[in-house]
Amino acid sequence: MVKHPKPLVEIVGTGRYVPDRVLTNADLEKMVETNDEWIVERTGIRERRIARDDEGAAQMGAEAARKAMEEAGVEPGEVDILIVSTATPDRWLPSTACDLQALLGAGNAMAFDICAACSGWLYGLTMAEGYLAAGRGEIALVVAAEKMSSITDWEDRATCVLFGDAAGAAVLKKATGDRGILSAHHKSDGNLADLLYRPGGGAAIPMSEEVLVDKGHLVKMSGREVFKNAVRSMADASGTALEKAGLTGDDIDLLIPHQANIRIIKATAKYAGIPMEKVYINVDRFGNTSSAAIPVALDEAKEAGIVGPGTVILTAAFGAGFTWSGMTIRL
Ligand code: UT7
């Protein structure tokens, strides 16, 4: 029996939401100079979901959150802290978390957003863990809601084939036994921010006609550089999370990596010493949904019976910032 730190909080419910609209590689072939073979070979993506124009991050998050609360047997009014991870807030002010709070009727919660790109949901879990462990509240709701299609340049083939829209959520309570978060490792490096960013439309370069014409409000990515850093950081995230928990790849029932690229996923699994049969993959169906990818995958894996109470997962994420995170959790 492997020794590990006693968990402070456990996940008592999860939920997910993906929009109905499917955008296939064949659809993209009609929009930009690309082809299914290149996309599948270089990324592993076959299709992605695109939200309706009138469907925002808060609405998608609410769908996922309701399912997570239902599984947890928690009423909206019982939530003490509501954290939303999003790179695509519905508006700059107030937070998407406050809009989500209103949609849910979670009137007793403190609600706020965090911006840590693809690692945001794991960052959020650790923030909720600290809040609950400090005794400031009993129930946390951590949501990731991403409408990546709203910040995608649909004329840039280097990025538009990658992203999709989705939301995922989890309810956390104080741990009562050996189930819960066993270890976490979070890092950021702001020196490399400009390899994956949206240059304009914020306070430094406010929205203007020029920003719109230059598409400065949309995602720009230096793919190859990001790829190299992603492989390195996902290895650090997963390796350190395992080490902090006193676990090895052999102890892990399922690796749930961030779903950005099948090649990054394979490299992460190899480094962590986890065979591909124990790696959850849905990048083929949803593309890169930023911080929603991990909670969506976790909820799917639970529903499929791949993981359940008592199983141990390793999860790792990497994203803009750069930010990266690894976590081991006994479900
Ligand atoms: O969410 C976390 C952050 N994001 C990531 O982790 C993404 C990390 N990066 C990647 O996954 C990969 O770098 C990409 C999938 C974005 C690109 O794959 P790559 O193997 O690094 O390709 P590349 O950017 O080096 O481009 C190779 C070639 C180029 O053509 P030339 O210069 O060799 O003639 C590109 O112009 O592929 C071309 N290309 C495309 N061809 C067809 C780029 N995008 C496309 C496309 N279809 N969609």
pLDDT, tens digit, for every residue of 23-61? 999 999 999 999 999 999 999 999 999 999 999 999 999
User: Please, are residues 95 and 124 in contact by the beta-carbon 8 Å criterion?
Assistant: no
Q: DSSP letter string over 255-308?
A: EEE--S-HHHHHHHHHHHT--GGGB---HHHH-B-GGGHHHHHHHHHHHTTSS-
The whole-number pLDDT of residue 4 equals 58
Token pair belonging to 48? 């992605």
Query: Which atom of ligand 1 is the closest one to the Cα of 118?
Result: 1
- Active-site residue flag, 4: no
Residue with CA at minimum distance from ligand 1 atom 36:
158
Question: What is the number of the ligand 1 atom nearest to the C-alpha of 159?
Answer: 16
pLDDT at 268: 97
Decide: 226 in ligand 1 pocket, CB within 6 A: yes
| CA-nearest residue, atom 8 of ligand 1 | 227
Report d(CA 186, CA 167) in Å as an integer: 21
Instruction: State residue 1's pLDDT score.
Output: 40
Architecture of the domain defined by 9-178: 3-Layer(aba) Sandwich (3.40)
Please work out whether the CB of residue 45 comes within 6 Å of at least one atom of ligand 1. no
Question: Would the CATH topology of 9-178 be identical to that of 182-330?
Answer: yes
How many angstroms is it from 165 CA to the middle of ligand 1?
20
**Mean pLDDT along residues 171-183:** 97
* C-alpha to C-alpha distance for 68 and 75, rounded to whole angstroms: 10
**For helices 262-272 and 223-245, angle between their N-to-C axes, nearest 10 degrees:** 30
Determine if ligand 1 sits within 6 Å of the CB of residue 43.
yes
- Span from the CA of 268 to the centroid of ligand 1 (angstroms): 19
Q: What is the pLDDT of residue 16?
A: 98
Look at ligand 1, atom 30, and give the residue with the nearest C-alpha.
Answer: 158
Round to whole Å and give the CA distance between 185 and 237: 6
Q: What is the pTM of this model?
A: 0.97
Check if 98 is active-site: no
Question: Which is the closest atom of ligand 1 to the Cα of 32?
Answer: 48
Ligand 1: does its nearest atom lie under 6 Å from the Cβ of 38? yes
Ligand 1 atom 45, closest CA: 158
Give 276: exposed, middle or buried? Use CB within 10 Å, 0-12, 13-18, 19+. Answer: exposed
How is the chain split into domains, by residue range? 9-178, 182-330
List pLDDT tens digits, range 133-156. Answer: 999 999 999 999 999 999 999 999
Atom 21 of ligand 1: nearest residue by CA position: 224
Taking the centre of ligand 1 as the mean of its atom positions, its distance from the CA of residue 223, in whole angstroms, is 6
Pick the catalytic residue: 25, 229, 261, 288?
Answer: 288
First to last CA, the chain: 17
Q: Write down the mean pLDDT value for the chain.
A: 97
- Give catalytic status of residue 118 as yes or no: yes
For residue 261 and ligand 1, the question of a CB distance below 6 A is answered with yes
- Alpha-carbon torsion (238, 240, 245, 247), positive or negative: positive
**Could you tell me the fold of the domain covering 182-330?**
Peroxisomal Thiolase; Chain A, domain 1 (3.40.47)
State residue 5's pLDDT score: 73
For 104-132, write each residue's pLDDT tens digit: 999 999 999 999 999 999 999 999 999 99
